[in-house]
Amino acid sequence: MNLKRRLWLVLILPALMLVAGLTGGCSSMPDYSFSPQFNPDSKTFQHSNGYRDDKSVGDLLSMAWQFMTRETDPIEKTGFPVMSAEDNAPRGTDKTAITRIGHATLLFERDGKTILADPMFSDRASPLAFSGPKRVAPPARSLEALPPIDVVLISHAHYDHLDMPSLRQLAELQPHIKVLAPLGVGRYASDAGFANVTELDWWQDATVDDVTVTATPARHWASRSPFDRNRTLWAGFMMRFSDGFQFYFIGDTGYSEDFAHVRERLGPVGLAAIPIGAYAPRDFMKASHCNPEEAVQIFQDLGAERAVARSGCRTCGGHSLGHIQVDAGALGRAALIA
């Protein structure tokens, strides 16, 4: 392990945890006892079937050690070419288009509605601007170049999906956006400057004009510090348009029977955005991050017509970008968006 990685592990990681504890924890918590996912004894969220991700801080440190001692992927240093989304944007509001901006951030446009999912435009997914996981390629579109956004979706509170600098800048540029988020996550959007924020429990609906958005279960967890684990909920989002077309966005998730239940309750999906990255080390990640094979199973469980796979990683949680293509049987045939 080189000196830079050793310094990061010994000095920077504890500093990150301290700063996250000071800035990301919540001193008070609303009463969510109405939710089947909320455990009133621990005051945390869990899956309503009893599943909970109970990995300790020690488990996290062990995973961090594996990450820091991993084989270096050259792409992490060199990056890779990114096509400008501004140069390849759909023309006209009647078209259906999805733009992979980078990491989990997607822009979906259909029937005059524009949805931005998990906006993350910063260089690092971290409470510190100078340290923490860093993206290996720039966003395909800048915040300033975004079209008028109708809805922002936030799937959960992890820093790589809930990026406060991006939310603050977006709120300054487009303050009238409607934000939809799982229980407990909406306060971050409000703190960023958005006034139109709705929190949803699993299977709850929100309506934006003629589009119905349903929050759905996912197999994941949430935290922004070592001291607020699972104090907020996590979710996927199904968007049903007036003609019956459905777009499904999943933030992060492990594989579970939830996706078969989603199809049973909400019907088949026209287009699904499914994560395929950040799945190693497998013993640590399996419960909360699906691998490429499991992503295909999710696609089948949903009865989806089409899917877009997103890597959901900048450095892929300790797994190299090249390894993902090998694991998926797609080396030389697939492009990854980081």
DSSP secondary structure letters along 154-205? ----STTTS-HHHHHHHHHH-TT-EEEEETTTHHHHHHHT-SEEEEE-TT-E
Range with lowest mean pLDDT among 20-24, 167-171, 241-245, 295-299? 20-24
Query: 114-155 pLDDT, tens per residue?
Result: 999 999 999 887 787 777 778 878 898 999 999 999 999 999
The pLDDT score that the predictor gives to residue 317 is 43
* Domain ranges, residue 264: 3-327
Say if residue 62's pLDDT is above 80.
no
In this prediction, what percent of the chain has a pLDDT beyond 90? 50
Choose among 149, 99, 105, 79: nearest CA to 275: 105
Range with lowest mean pLDDT among 2-16, 132-146, 257-271? 2-16
**Which CATH number fits the domain that encloses residue 318?**
3.60.15.10
In this prediction, what percent of the chain has a pLDDT beyond 70? 67
Model confidence at 221, in pLDDT bands (50, 70, 90)? confident
Summary count for the chain: helices (H), strands (E): 10, 14
Q: Would you state the structure tokens that stand for residue 117, as one six-digit string?
A: 């999912």
Query: Of 9-18, 77-86, 121-130, 277-286, which one has max mean pLDDT?
Result: 121-130
Say if residue 19's pLDDT is above 70.
no
Reported pTM: 0.80
Give the residue carrying structure tokens 């929100």.
206
Span 87-113, average pLDDT: 79
Residue 82 lies in a domain: yes
Residue 333 lies in a domain: no
- 10 Å CB burial of residue 206 (0-12, 13-18, 19+) is middle
The pLDDT score that the predictor gives to residue 10 is 47
Residue 334 lies in a domain: no
The answer to whether the Cα torsion of 248, 253, 254, 259 is positive or negative is negative
Residue 43 lies in a domain: yes
Instruction: Round to whole Å and give the CA distance between 307 and 302.
Output: 10
Model confidence at 336, in pLDDT bands (50, 70, 90)? very low
The pLDDT score that the predictor gives to residue 153 is 99
Say if residue 54's pLDDT is above 80.
no
Residue 49: CB partners within 8 Å, gap ≥ 6? Answer: none
Residue 336 lies in a domain: no
Rounded to the nearest 10 degrees, how much is the dihedral formed by the CA atoms of 96, 157, 81, 3? Answer: -170
Integer CA distances (angstroms), 273 to 52, 104, 188, 223, 307, in order: 24, 9, 24, 23, 6
Span 44-59, average pLDDT: 73
Task: Give me the amino acid identity at 228.
Answer: D
Span 57-85, average pLDDT: 62
Given a contact cutoff of 8 angstroms between Cβ atoms, the answer to whether 318 and 281 are in contact is yes
The pLDDT score that the predictor gives to residue 314 is 47
Based on its alpha-carbon atoms, the radius of gyration of the chain, rounded to whole angstroms, reads: 19
Model confidence at 276, in pLDDT bands (50, 70, 90)? confident
What's the structural domain count of the chain? 1
Higher local confidence (pLDDT), 36 or 6: 36
Range with lowest mean pLDDT among 49-63, 202-216, 315-329? 315-329
Say if residue 46's pLDDT is above 60.
yes
Residue 307 lies in a domain: yes
Q: Would you state the structure tokens that stand for residue 61, as one six-digit string?
A: 């440190």
Instruction: Round to whole Å and give the CA distance between 204 and 211.
Output: 14
